Amino acid sequence: MPWRNAANYGLSAHPTESVAVKISAIRVYQVNLPLVEGRYSWSEGKYVEVFDSTVVELVTDEGLSGYGEVCPLGPFYLPAYGPGARVGIGELAPTLLGEDPTAIGPLNQLMDRALLGHPYVKSAIDMACWDLLGKVTGKSVCDLMGGRFGDSVALYRAIAQRPADEMADNVAGHRADGYSKFQLKVGGKPEEDVERIRAVAGVLTDGEVLVADANTGWRVDDAMRVVNAVSDVDVYIEQPCRSYEHCLAVRRNTTLPFILDENITDIDALLRGHADGAMDVINLKISKVGGLTKARQIRDLCVSLNIPMTIEDSWGGDIITSAIAHLAHSTPEALRFSATDFNSYVTVHNATGAPARTSGHMSASDEPGLGIVPDMDVLGAAVAEYTH
């Protein structure tokens, strides 16, 4: 198949005449993703048992399809929720029909003009565009994003908030699956969180990494009580408070390494954090910033600024896990703090070909695009379809 705008993506031009592909249809699917462990709990008593995932299919006039996925962590984690993703896609559809999905830069500009904000709505569409670009060029998304570094990507495991002894027991179980990085969900009562951190730190072995993630759940005074109480523990403190200013206040009063997540929403936020010395590591979530295109921009800036990253998303199934793998595997190993294999957390699989965890690691597919084939029996009938 002839290539479209190959030079824009660092590829050699195909010798034959270029032919633009056009979006002829947009199909939207909804899939419930129940958790293997039954419930995922984090700060302030929040929890989810079944995740509401939206899958987008972009169909071209040549009959080629690209797929993307977005799966918010419930309606109360970020300003995002499952039904909102589907409504937003319907709002964007008339603008996107007839456009070239492989012209990813112009298409992102179109989306930003047609719908202000709502980055999570655009994420699955942008992801599907990258899947199509890979299929048109015969390249994996990992190759299109710069090529792979190393043989695999190390993963972390999130430990849902529970009593301290249960969280310590969970770490031992996940260690058997090859994980060596553990993210504890804290953000509860300070005295209980101190107990959680110390209990888990007590069962770690050499080379294992511990992160205490409050998910914005502490006030500044509570965060200071916790970081002072565990100042002798080798632990990263992640996103203790809701506002950037409150996180910065905690950061400036602790020597523990610091991670920002929810506050890193775009390049401006990253640059502000870097200028203020607000963090040592960031969590880069694909849908939070608006898709793979903007996540790659932030990733590349972090590489230039020497800021390590956990590369992930809010949640998801096989399609999102594949996208994470491609972005992470094309990131230099020295700046790759960790990544996430969400498809191992859920009981329903919405595609084949996605990375499978092996000894706490995963690898991006070598196949064109994301390298996945959606399971249409799982996706079922489209809940919405938009055509010319």
Q: Which tens digit of pLDDT belongs to each residue from 299-314?
A: 999 999 999 999 999 9
pLDDT at res. 15: 35
Phi-psi map region of 162: left, alpha, beta (phi>0 left; psi -120 to 50 alpha): beta
Residue 173 exposed, middle or buried by CB count within 10 Å (0-12, 13-18, 19+)? exposed
Q: Answer yes or no: 139 catalytic.
A: no
Q: Answer yes or no: 135 catalytic.
A: no
pLDDT at res. 343: 95
User: Residue 161 above 80 pLDDT?
Assistant: yes
d(CA 258, CA 239): 8
pLDDT at res. 2: 36
Q: DSSP state, 5?
A: S
pLDDT at res. 337: 98
User: Residue 265 above 60 pLDDT?
Assistant: yes
d(CA 280, CA 84): 33
Residues 6+ apart with CB under 8 A from 90: 28, 384, 386
Residue 20 exposed, middle or buried by CB count within 10 Å (0-12, 13-18, 19+)? middle
pLDDT at res. 300: 98
Strand partners, 2: none
- Return the C-alpha torsion angle 351, 354, 356, 362, nearest 10: -160
Tell me what the mean pLDDT of segment 253-267 comes to.
97
Q: pLDDT for 38-65, tens place per residue? A: 888 877 787 888 999 999 999 999 999 9
Catalytic residue, chosen from 122, 139, 185, 288, is: 185
Tell me the pLDDT band of 10, cut-offs 50, 70 and 90.
Answer: very low
**Lookup: tokens for 134:** 């890979």
pLDDT at res. 143: 98
Phi, psi for residue 114 in degrees, rounded to 5:
-80, -25
Q: pLDDT for 26-36, tens place per residue? A: 999 999 999 98
User: Residue 149 above 60 pLDDT?
Assistant: yes
Catalytic residue, chosen from 122, 181, 285, 288, is: 285
- DSSP track, 46-76: -EESEEEEEEEEEEETTS-EEEEEE--SSSS
pTM: 0.93
Q: pLDDT for 361-371, tens place per residue? A: 999 999 999 99
d(CA 348, CA 31): 9
**Averaged pLDDT of the chain:** 93
User: Residue 211 above 80 pLDDT?
Assistant: yes
pLDDT at res. 148: 97
pLDDT at res. 19: 60
pLDDT at res. 5: 39
Tell me what the mean pLDDT of segment 205-224 comes to.
96
State the Rg of the chain over Cα: 21
User: Residue 266 above 60 pLDDT?
Assistant: yes
Tell me what the mean pLDDT of segment 120-125 comes to.
98
pLDDT at res. 200: 97
